[in-house]
Chains A and B, each alone.
Chain A
Amino acid sequence: MPKIKKKRLGFKLDMTPMVDVAMLLLTFFMMTTQFRPEEATAIDLPASHAPYKMPETDIMVVTVNKEGRTFMGVDAQALRAQLFGEANKLRPSMEVDRDALRELLIQARISNPKLRTLVKADKDAPYGPVEDILNILRQVKITRFNLVTELERN
């Protein structure tokens, strides 16, 4: 009746290659991850079929949030310090009103003529403030700029 216990076969699997690959992937993801920079205001981007990728350097961003408030930011810290003062160097963008925006756009372009302008507005933002910004851009002779959107999938 009593069964003879089978001797378990010692089963060894070499995990080394798997762990190697895992480490490799880990390194890859750690290197490529860039955490979303904190924003002054939450923006829900509208979707479009626009094919261009957003540039990452030499940019200034004019942001309009859901309530129609306007923010402006640039990517370089040195320029930020120059535009908004040393104390605000680390803030990605500052709330500005329309008149200040005009001056800031001009100053920023003088400091770095390579700056590209991005307009980033919430999809539920009222069109009025956006239209004002487009007019300001036209007045300060920025005739070429980009609207930031998300890729629409269908």
Chain B
Amino acid sequence: MAALESGGESKSHARAGKKHKKKHRISIRIDMTPMVDVAFLLLTFFMLTTYFSKPQTMELNLPADEKAQVEVAESNLLTLRVTPDGEIFWNTGMEPAHWIEVKDLRKFLVDKNKENPKLITLVKIDREGKYRMLIKMMDEIAIAAVQRFSLAPMTEYDKRQVQKARAS
């Protein structure tokens, strides 16, 4: 349809062109400078305000039943206790706790897991501590590719252990 119509039109135009002399188009010149200026201004604004980085997320799976008890041999249990001021104490089984620096944690976890592939890591963070410590611990655990870990509440017993480790 459209093609047909336009075809017809062009024919009539052609005929008209033959009869009359083509009118001179008056050339219009609009100064585009202000528009372009504004466009650039907007461009700069959007370029500066846009941020492409979306927040990342860390996936966490919790066991469905909190009463689920898993029997673990003492020697296979690595406990990491985090104090309110962000210090980390570790121990295996029932041994006394030792202090470890945060930056050594990654290597330590890798080594421990290489030593004992059946190791289960238990993370206990003090309720008075900061949320960032949880993220830090989860991050280190993920980087060290520790598969088996669990979160547990910090009990009075744990706090005593930490105090003992501090005193010694």
Q: Which positions in A face B, CB cutoff 8 Å?
A: 15, 19, 22-23, 25-26, 29-30, 32-33, 35, 45-55, 64, 118, 121-128, 130-131, 134-135, 137-139, 141, 143-152
Contact = CB atoms under 8 A, between A and B. Distances in A.
Query: What DSSP secondary structure best describes chain A's contact surface?
Result: mixed
Contacts, number: 138
A127 B131 contact: yes
Query: What DSSP secondary structure best describes chain B's contact surface?
Result: mixed
Contacts of B125: 127, 131
Interface of B: 32, 36, 39-40, 42-43, 46-47, 49-50, 53-64, 66, 125-136, 138-139, 142-143, 151, 153
A26 B32 contact: no
A49 B56 CA distance: 8
B128 A126 contact: yes
B53 A151 contact: yes
A127 B39 contact: no
Contact of B132 (A23, A55, A124, A138): A124
A137 B55 contact: no
A109 B110 CA distance: 38
Contacts of A145: 59-60
Given A48-B135, A145-B59, 15 more contacts: A29-B47, A33-B46, A46-B135, A50-B56, A50-B58, A53-B54, A126-B130, A126-B131, A130-B134, A134-B62, A141-B64, A144-B61, A146-B57, A149-B57, A151-B56
